[in-house]
Every structure is written in structure tokens, then in C-alpha cells.
Amino acid sequence: MTARKQVLLVHPLGYGAAAAGQDISRLANIMPPLGLASMAAYLGRRGIGVDIVDCYARPDSDRLIRDLLLDRRPGLIGLSCTTSSFHDAVRIALLAKQALPGVRSVFGGPHVSALKEKLFVDYPAMDFAVVGEGEEALAELVEADGDDPSGIKGIIHREGGDGAPRFTGYRERGIELDSLPFPAYEKLAGFPASYMLPIFNYPRTPNTSCISSRGCPYACSYCDRSVFRRTFRYNSAEYLYDHLKYLRERFGIRHINFYDDQFTFNRKRVEAFTGMMIDKPLGMTFNCAVRAEHIDPELVRRMKTAGCWMMSLGIETGDEALLAQHRQNPDLAQLADKIRMIKRAGIRTKGLLMIGLPGETEETIRHSKEYVFSLPIDDFNLAKFTPFPGSPVYEKIHELGTFDEDWEKMDCMHFQFVTKGMTAARLEELFQDFYRSHFQRPKVLMGYVAMLWRSPDSWLRFLRSAGDFVRFTRVNKRLMDEGAPDPP
Ligand code: B12
């Protein structure tokens, strides 16, 4: 027998546990699964028992999952899936059904929200899926307890004798974010010590990430918006301040990384929030991502006073014509001005770039390098362009180049898509060269030296993992020499 009002939520690792030690992005960055933690808190409030297993933070968790299934006997196991972690989620669902016959699986997250019923045809281990945000839909599914779920909006279930999947349709309204409880951080084993922000992205520990809005009104070609679609909802400044106060008082958190797509989209909210951080300081600093259109000198100065330590900006490419094909307002001069303005305010800047977009050439990559290197950018991230189901560009991707849709490798660390006129090997070479050139610049090196006192914990972590970073670089070089494009 399984328990009626008990759920096990799992954040899959995405690949075999043995490889976790060599996953360079995981070594540098382990973030709490905020979606699962938010659902856990919401379900808890409705009297539903929840456990969370985060395999990303604890890679070897199969036994723990089995033990929890046998001990708690949940009626549902919920799996959160990006595209690259989907197959691992299916493996865990099968493992669960073997360990606890009768347990039913429910899948959620971006990959499921994008592909919906299509997935059910090839993956019989899927009993249910939630499309879009999960709190209310999952609670209603648990409460239906095996009754006909066809009246619950936002889910996919199997119907009739042949088990054909049926989507009940989108929920009418997005959840009012201030009505949600704070995420159940306490259900994440070892929080906050078992989580870590990217190296050189924080001044002190303990730290964590936070989301204070859902959705984005823009429609960039490469962005998968299938979960929150084009809505933009946000927590009020008061809720946000209380959330940070809670993190400070209950867990001792001293720095926050906001993962909002558009933290400053609503200027009034940021004004009010920074006002509270200035008038009633919490002893906390924060990072956030901004778009050039939504910042100005006064706001940036205010944010600095309130504790803003670093701002990230999506640059994507330094070639304006290429940018115009993929994003609205492709104004690189305005972006450059704003980056200089942020830097002048004493805030660290991070540029987010992509390489391998449809239409990329040797020349556009050269433009990107020149652009980035002409700006006071302290840190940058260069992702390998990956066309995710749910992103606008996915629809016509096969017309734009060659695409090997191997989901497990669609983690922005592999060139699964190669635009016309390029080869994967050449893209890999240019990718390596971009990073190498960045790290060879004296200004950048001096910046990292300054991190000795601005973020001493980052240096400790860097030195502890230095062997893995060197091994990663060597393996990449060997693969490149052999003409194989994929990193390990
Ligand atoms: C923070 C973040 C990260 C963090 C941490 C992720 C984590 N542990 O949760 C880091 C930096 C590690 C990361 C890594 C990656 N990320 Co990321 N990330 C995000 C980001 C910005 C916020 C995620 C978040 O917390 N959202 C807020 C919560 C409330 O929403 P949510 O997680 O979607 O959960 C809700 C619903 O999806 C649903 N739901 C989710 N899971 C489940 C499970 C069940 C059972 C149910 C019922 C419902 C449900 O209910 C939740 C609550 O409403 C999103 C973009 C975004 N704005 O959402 C991208 C995003 C999820 N990432 C993306 C990508 C591509 C990646 C990477 C592949 C590449 C990269 N380096 O960026 C890796 C893959 C990691 C992996 N193994 O899966 C894509 C995913 C696209 C896709 N189809 O796969 C997104 C959507 C960005 C985008 N727009 O393209 N990411």
C-alpha cells in the first residue's frame, strides 16, 4: 500500500553518479532546486507530507530514494526535468516502480512543459505530468488520490484502455507569488552548506540563490519559456525583504544570487526593496541579472548602497547583426554604456555569452571577443548554443544547420547544433580560444588576484578543485587534437 498524502520529489543529476566529480559546471556551481522546494512548502501547507532528494547536490542517491520509498511509501514520485536531465528522471521513475509497486510518477519542469503529450508515447514510465508551474496542480493531483484527474487543469494523464495521454489545458491564472510560502529550504539535506554559488560570484559564505519573479516578457530565440510563458509576475518588495530576512535569521545566509530573468523590470519594486535594505540592513549582499533597458544611474547607485555586489547582463554575441536575428533591442552601444555605468558604481559585472548561434561565423566570434574585451567585464560565461524544445528557434532549427538532438548532451557544454558553414571541431577550437584569451588578459588576471580578499572562499574552492579544472582542460585539448568535439 502507498500513503495517500505523501510525495517524494526528486531533482535528478542528469547522468551517471560516477561522472559527477568531473562535471566542471557542477563543481563550480550547485544551486538549490527552488521549484521543488517551493512546491514542497506549498504542499506542506495543504497537509501533504513531502521529502526532497536533490541528486545534483548528492549524486549517489539511488539507495536514499529506495529507502525513502520503502519507509514513507508515497503515492507519487515527482521528477523535475530539464532537457538534459530527462532520461535520468525516467531511469529514477523505473527504479521507483520496481522498489515500490503502485507508486505513480509525475514529471514536471521545462522539458515536460515544452514537449507535453509527445513524451508519453515513448516513455511508459510516465503516469502524469504537470505543464507550467507546479504548486497548485500537484497539490490537486495528490488530493484527487486516484480519482479521475481530468478536471485538474495543467496536467497530462493517461486516459482510456490504451492509456493515451491527454492534456487538460493550461491553468487559467498564474499563481499570485506573495501567496506562496517561502521555499522549504530545510528539506534540502545540508542546506546551505551543501550548495555553492559559482566560484568568484560571491563575497562571502553561506550564500544561496533566490527567485523573486516568474516569467519574462521578452521573446529571445534561444530561450525556453514553456514553464512560465510570457507572463511576468513578481513578489512585492515587502515579501522579498521578509524572504531575505528569513534566510538570514534561520540559515545565516549572507549573500544572495537572484536568478530572476529580469530583476529590475519593475523599477518601483526595486526602489522599494533597496529602500528597505538601506533603512533596515540585513548584513547581506546580492547579485542579480539585468537588461540594459531596465537600469539607470540612479537605480544602480541605489542598488550598490543596498548591497548589490555583481550584476549579470546577457550579451549573447558582440555582433549586432547576429544579435538582431535572435533578440529584441539589439543595441550594443547602449549595452556597453550600461556596463561601464555599473562598473563605475562599484559593482562587479558579468557578461553572459553564447557561441554557435545559428548564423555564427568566424567573423561574428571575432566581433564578440573584441566587444567583450573592450568592456570592463570582470567575469563571463560562454555557453555553447543549444536549441531547446520550447525555444522559438527550435521550430526551424533543422533549416539552419545540423542538429543532433541527443537530450542528455543538451547541457550547453556540447555543440549539438552546428550552424551552416561551421564545423563542431572549429567551434570547439574558437570556444577554447575565447576562454583562454579572456584569462590571459592582465586586467582580468588582476581582477582574480583581487578576489583573494574580495572572495577568499572562492580561491579556497578553486585551489581544492584545481586538479579537476586542469584535467578538464587537458581532456578537452586531447579531444580537439583528435578532432572530436565533445568535452567529457
Ligand atoms: C537557476 C537555474 C539554474 C541553476 C540551478 C537549477 C536548479 N537546480 O533548479 C543552474 C545554474 C545550476 C542551472 C543549470 C542549468 N540550466 Co538552468 N535555469 C535556472 C533558472 C534561471 C531558474 C530555475 C528556477 O529556480 N526557477 C524558478 C522555479 C520556481 O521554477 P521551476 O524550477 O521551473 O519549477 C516550477 C515548474 O517548472 C514546475 N516544476 C518543476 N519541476 C517539477 C517537478 C514536478 C514533479 C512538478 C509537478 C512540477 C515541477 O513547478 C515548479 C514550481 O512552480 C531557469 C530559468 C527560469 N527562469 O526558470 C533556467 C533553466 C531551467 N535552465 C536551463 C538550462 C538550459 C540549464 C543548463 C542545461 C545549462 C546551463 N548551464 O544553464 C543546466 C542544466 C542543469 C541540469 N542538470 O538540469 C533552461 C532549461 C531548458 C531546458 N529545456 O532544458 C532554463 C529554463 C533557462 C531557459 N529559459 O532556457 N540552471
pLDDT in tens, 243-298: 999 999 999 999 999 999 989 999 999 999 999 999 999 999 999 999 999 999 99
Domain 197-481 carries which CATH code? 3.80.30.20
Measured from the CA of 390, which atom of ligand 1 is nearest?
Answer: 83
Residue nearest to atom 7 of ligand 1 (CA): 33
Please tell me the predicted confidence (pLDDT) of residue 485: 37
Per DSSP, 307 falls in state: T
Please state the pTM of the whole predicted model: 0.94
Measured from the CA of 388, which atom of ligand 1 is nearest?
Answer: 83
Whole-angstrom distance, CA of residue 437 vs CA of residue 301: 31
Measured from the CA of 110, which atom of ligand 1 is nearest?
Answer: 83
Domain ranges in the chain are 3-167, 197-481
**AA identity, residue 129:** A
pLDDT digits (tens, 9 = 90+) for 394-447: 999 999 999 999 999 999 999 999 999 999 999 999 999 999 999 888 888 888
Q: Enumerate the β-bridge partners of residue 54.
A: 11
Residue nearest to atom 34 of ligand 1 (CA): 35
Residue bearing cell 527504479: 95
Please tell me the predicted confidence (pLDDT) of residue 484: 38
Whole-angstrom distance, CA of residue 415 vs CA of residue 386: 7
CA 120 to chain centre: 24
Measured from the CA of 138, which atom of ligand 1 is nearest?
Answer: 47
The answer, yes or no, to whether any atom of ligand 1 lies below 6 A from the CB of 314, is no
Grid coordinates in use for 198?
Answer: 559559482
Measured from the CA of 25, which atom of ligand 1 is nearest?
Answer: 71
Residue 381's nearest CA partner among 447, 313, 334, 454 is 313
Q: How far is the CA of 109 from the centre of ligand 1 (A)?
A: 7
Grid coordinates in use for 449?
Answer: 588576484
* Contact between residue 257 and residue 209 where contact means Cβ atoms under 8 Å apart: yes
Whole-angstrom distance, CA of residue 349 vs CA of residue 335: 12
Cα→Cα distances 74→40, 67, 94, 290, 387, Å? 14, 11, 15, 41, 36
* Contact between residue 287 and residue 378 where contact means Cβ atoms under 8 Å apart: no
Please tell me the predicted confidence (pLDDT) of residue 480: 46
Whole-angstrom distance, CA of residue 440 vs CA of residue 437: 5
* Residues lower than pLDDT 50 in the chain: 478-488
Q: Enumerate the β-bridge partners of residue 207.
A: 255
Residue 348's nearest CA partner among 246, 467, 458 is 458
Cα→Cα distances 172→152, 157, 217, 293, Å? 11, 18, 18, 30
Q: How far is the CA of 224 from the centre of ligand 1 (A)?
A: 10
Please tell me the predicted confidence (pLDDT) of residue 469: 60
Contacts of 277 by beta carbon, 8 Å cutoff, 6+ apart: 241, 244, 284, 306, 307
Angle, helix 237-251 to helix 267-279, in steps of 10 degrees:
40
Please tell me the predicted confidence (pLDDT) of residue 175: 96
Please tell me the predicted confidence (pLDDT) of residue 137: 98
The answer, yes or no, to whether any atom of ligand 1 lies below 6 A from the CB of 359, is no
Residue bearing cell 492534456: 167
Question: DSSP assignment of 142-198, as one string?
Answer: HHHTTS-GGGSTTEEEEETTTTEEEE----SS---GGGSPPP-GGGSTTTTTT-BPP
Options 3.30.310.50, 3.30.420.40, 3.40.50.280, 3.40.50.150; CATH of 3-167: 3.40.50.280
Angle, helix 362-373 to helix 424-440, in steps of 10 degrees:
20
The answer, yes or no, to whether any atom of ligand 1 lies below 6 A from the CB of 138, is yes
Q: How far is the CA of 363 from the centre of ligand 1 (A)?
A: 32
Measured from the CA of 113, which atom of ligand 1 is nearest?
Answer: 37
The answer, yes or no, to whether any atom of ligand 1 lies below 6 A from the CB of 387, is no
Bond into 192 cis (ω within 30): yes
pLDDT digits (tens, 9 = 90+) for 110-135: 999 999 999 999 999 999 999 999 99
Residue 8's nearest CA partner among 40, 32, 47 is 40
Q: How far is the CA of 279 from the centre of ligand 1 (A)?
A: 33
Whole-angstrom distance, CA of residue 415 vs CA of residue 260: 26
Q: How far is the CA of 9 from the centre of ligand 1 (A)?
A: 15
The answer, yes or no, to whether any atom of ligand 1 lies below 6 A from the CB of 224, is yes
The answer, yes or no, to whether any atom of ligand 1 lies below 6 A from the CB of 85, is yes
Residue nearest to atom 1 of ligand 1 (CA): 259
The answer, yes or no, to whether any atom of ligand 1 lies below 6 A from the CB of 111, is yes
Q: How far is the CA of 155 from the centre of ligand 1 (A)?
A: 19
Measured from the CA of 38, which atom of ligand 1 is nearest?
Answer: 52
The answer, yes or no, to whether any atom of ligand 1 lies below 6 A from the CB of 78, is yes
